Amino acid sequence: MRVALMQPYFLPYIGYFQLIGAVDLFVIYDNIKYTKKGWINRNRMLLNGSDTLFSLPLAAASDSLDVCERTLVAPPARHKWLAQMKGAYRHAPHFASTARLLDSIAGAPEENLFAFLHQALLKTCAHLDIGTPIRLSSTVPIDHALKGQDKVLAICQAVGASTYINAIGGTELYSRDQFAARGLQLQFLRSLPFDYPQFGAPFVPWLSIADVMMFNPVGTVRERVMTHYELI
């Protein structure tokens, strides 16, 4: 069984969904520390030809809390990202269908950060017809005090994995020998370039999946998610 583990991210780039599509089980970390300068509650969109950050604003809280312990601010400030995105992409060819998905995501009642990110991920996967089961890391019976590679190995063994697939950015974090010693194959997913028209301006790569969906039919996005990568 092929397994991947990732932090939750808000409307992440296409490579995140390729990782989900490439495995038999995707485990998402809900019991990890929130990182302020990471991508957990923010991402990039296209605005006036340049990449621009959008984010989910959080209620003030200790930086030591886990993702599942953080809370979003109350509406309407919570949905500023949606207005930003609609303004930026209102003339995109697939705005209508993508905006309906984003409206559904924004309309969810969850105030908890992880719960909001989780439902956004599930809805986006459903929109792209990606059926990979998604499991919360906290439900896997391991010692959750473990860190880094040791935690990944423990989760893989607990769920019966034969292969662990990680995003290409993790090549320096994991040892093929250590995985092999546990009877596991280690692979890395590298997304292939996917250029598409963005209002006639120079192409800006690796933006949020929302950008990809605004400019491409759902069928094309799904095909790129499921096939347009290589495993090394």
Cβ atoms of residues 14 and 212 within 8 Å: yes
d(CA 224, CA 18): 8
Task: Report strand pairing: 185-191 vs 229-231.
Answer: antiparallel
64, pLDDT greater than 90: no
Only one residue has tokens 């340049």, namely 50
Instruction: Tell me if the bond preceding 76 is cis, omega within 30° of 0.
Output: yes
Q: How far is CA 6 from the centre of its chain?
A: 8
37, pLDDT greater than 90: no
d(CA 216, CA 76): 29
Two tokens at 144? 């959750």
Report the helix count and the strand count for the chain, using DSSP H and E. Answer: 8, 8
Q: Where are the domains of the chain?
A: 2-231
What local confidence, expressed as pLDDT, does residue 141 receive? 97
Cβ atoms of residues 161 and 173 within 8 Å: no
What local confidence, expressed as pLDDT, does residue 167 receive? 94
Q: What is the pLDDT of residues 114-132, one digit of tens each?
A: 999 999 999 999 999 999 9
Q: What is the pLDDT of residues 67-120, one digit of tens each?
A: 999 999 998 999 999 999 999 999 999 999 999 999 999 999 999 999 999 999
31, pLDDT greater than 90: yes
Confidence of residue 38 (pLDDT cuts 50, 70, 90): confident
What local confidence, expressed as pLDDT, does residue 210 receive? 98
d(CA 72, CA 85): 18
d(CA 20, CA 27): 9
Q: Which of 66, 64, 75 is nearest to 111 (CA)?
A: 75
What local confidence, expressed as pLDDT, does residue 171 receive? 87
d(CA 153, CA 137): 13
What local confidence, expressed as pLDDT, does residue 186 receive? 97
**Residue type at position 114:** F
pTM of the full structure: 0.96
What local confidence, expressed as pLDDT, does residue 172 receive? 87
Q: What is the pLDDT of residues 123-173, one digit of tens each?
A: 999 999 999 999 999 999 999 999 999 999 999 999 999 999 999 988 888
